Amino acid sequence: MFLGDKIQIKDMVEIENLDYHYFLPLFFDGLCETEFPYEFFARQGVHDMLEHGGNRILPVVPQLIIPIKNALNLRNRQVLCTTLKVIQHLVVSAEMVGEALVPYYRQILPVLSIFKHMDAENGEVEEEEEEEEEVEEEEEEEEKKKKKKKKKEEEEEEEEEEKKKKKKKKKKKKKTKMRHCPKSSILLSSTSILKPPKY
């Protein structure tokens, strides 16, 4: 519903009566949205449920990790800012929620570490992403060179092996030819050599 210049959601059911195990993860899934009104409903729904959830929030924390991770993995600035605000609200929404998030830091923090130097003015994140892409491209290029070199070496080895086989075959053939040479011809040639010349 519209209230002056602001938009507010009119709840048909009391928030306290909602099934938190079903609806809270559902609204967290909506954090990936960037289009109006979907992103607005998701964001507002999350904050309203966290505001009124109390002790019903803590048991649902494990179900919220994947939606949070998915939202952060988009690496979209708008989604990132919204998700961080939601995490801040989540931590203070009920007792022990902060402690409950600790086992899941390994899933959440790696993505956040990419944006730790983010500066909205000069777009350092974009520069870091470009640097990462350049490093990846260099690694791929290096890998291609290694594969090419390895292939060349293998081809050279095969060629050398082929030459050896041919040489061996030729030698064997020559030996076989000599073996099959008739004895009479050998004797004849030797006799003609030993026979004295006629005058």
CA-wise closest residue to 127 among 117, 136, 141: 117
Amino acid symbol at 180: H
**Pair 127, 121: CB distance under 8 Å:** no
Q: What average pLDDT score do residues 141-167 get?
A: 87
Amino acid symbol at 145: K
pTM of the predicted protein model: 0.50
Cross-strand pairs, 7: 2
CA-to-CA separations, 145 to 33, 131, 155, in angstroms, rounded: 42, 21, 15
Residue 126: band (very low, low, confident or very high) from pLDDT cuts 50, 70, 90: low
H helix or E strand, kind and range, residue 6: strand 6-7
Residue 72: band (very low, low, confident or very high) from pLDDT cuts 50, 70, 90: confident
Label the pairing between strands 2-3 and 6-7: antiparallel
- Helix, strand, coil abundance in the chain, percent, nearest 5: 75, 0, 20
CATH code of the region 2-116: 1.25.40
For the chain, the farthest-separated pair of C-alpha atoms sits apart, in whole angstroms, at 142
Paired tokens of 146: 């290694």
- Residues 86-98 have pLDDT tens digits of 888 988 888 888 8
Residue 4: band (very low, low, confident or very high) from pLDDT cuts 50, 70, 90: very low
Q: 122-130 long-range contacts, Cβ below 8 Å, gap at least 24?
A: 125/77, 129/75
**Pair 155, 144: CB distance under 8 Å:** no
